[in-house]
């Protein structure tokens, strides 16, 4: 059970708009870039969307003797092919396994799955692959090169289609251009696994998205070069 600092803990399931993340000027992504939303993580968070701190035996002994990051690799073998597709590392100089170890170290060890990394990653995969958590289905819009979308409209669409407000984050690869970066779905912590009860994220916007009533966000449909590393890809079409 989670007991790092007290307070109510929820889970945030985060999906990355992979193509837009890799248009960020500071992103150095590997090709080919996936043409669908990928998973960033399943994160224990407090009521105000503050992440639960990573496991530390001295300062945050949230679970007794959780499985170490180095020990998860063999346990993930049954779902490795699915993880490679849906939960890949995007950046150069790191492997998919490196990314999974980081996610486990920062979030899994202080989750309700401290000694069950296979179910932690498998349950996250199942969430990401369900129609309910399909980002474009929730957003209610399709990619467009002609029309950006008012951020508040996207938030209201998700509330209508998903049943709860998400958190939407953006990047600004060029001045005045906001691209959707990630969409975070928040779930209540219950005694049952996997999590299934959705709830409003307390913070609805993040990163370069600031004002839902004035921010217009692009979900582009064709390749646009924003990265100094010349990495491009079609905007995501979720699978």
For residues 185 and 174, give the distance between their C-alpha atoms in angstroms, rounded to a whole number.
Answer: 27
**Cα 38 to Cα 56, 87, 125, 203, 239, distances in angstroms:** 28, 6, 10, 22, 10
pLDDT of the chain, 239 residues: tens digit per residue? 222 222 334 566 677 777 677 766 556 788 777 778 889 999 998 877 788 999 999 999 999 999 999 999 999 999 999 999 999 998 888 999 999 999 999 999 999 999 999 999 999 999 998 999 999 899 999 888 889 999 999 999 999 999 999 999 998 988 889 999 999 999 998 888 888 899 999 999 999 999 999 999 998 776 443 333 222 222 222 22
User: Considering the domain 9-217 in this protein, what is its CATH number?
Assistant: 3.90.730.10
pTM to 2 decimal places: 0.85
Domain coordinates in residue numbering, the chain? 9-217
For residues 89 and 94, give the distance between their C-alpha atoms in angstroms, rounded to a whole number.
Answer: 7
């Amino acid at each position: 059970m989670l007991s790092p600092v007290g307070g109510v803990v929820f889970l945030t399931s985060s999906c990355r708009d992979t193509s837009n993340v890799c248009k960020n000027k500071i992103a150095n992504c590997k090709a080919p870039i996936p043409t669908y939303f990928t998973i960033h993580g399943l994160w224990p968070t407090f009521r105000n969307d503050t992440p639960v701190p990573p496991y530390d035996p001295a300062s945050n002994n949230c679970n007794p003797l959780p499985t170490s990051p180095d020990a998860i690799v063999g346990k993930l073998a049954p779902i490795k092919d699915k993880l490679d597709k849906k939960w890949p590392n995007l950046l150069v100089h790191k492997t998919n396994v490196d990314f999974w170890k980081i996610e486990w170290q920062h979030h899994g060890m202080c989750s309700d799955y401290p000694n069950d990394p296979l179910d932690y990653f498998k349950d996250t995969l199942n969430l990401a692959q369900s129609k309910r958590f399909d980002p474009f289905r929730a957003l209610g819009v399709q990619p467009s090169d002609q029309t950006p979308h008012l951020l508040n409209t996207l938030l209201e669409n998700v509330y209508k289609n998903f049943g709860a407000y998400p958190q939407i984050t953006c990047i600004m690869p060029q001045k005045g251009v906001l691209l959707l970066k990630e969409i975070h779905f928040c779930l209540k912590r219950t005694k049952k696994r996997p999590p299934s009860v959705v709830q409003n994220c307390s913070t609805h916007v993040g990163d370069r998205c600031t004002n839902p009533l004035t921010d217009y966000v692009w979900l582009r449909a064709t390749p646009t070069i924003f990265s100094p590393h010349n990495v491009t890809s079609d905007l995501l079409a979720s699978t």
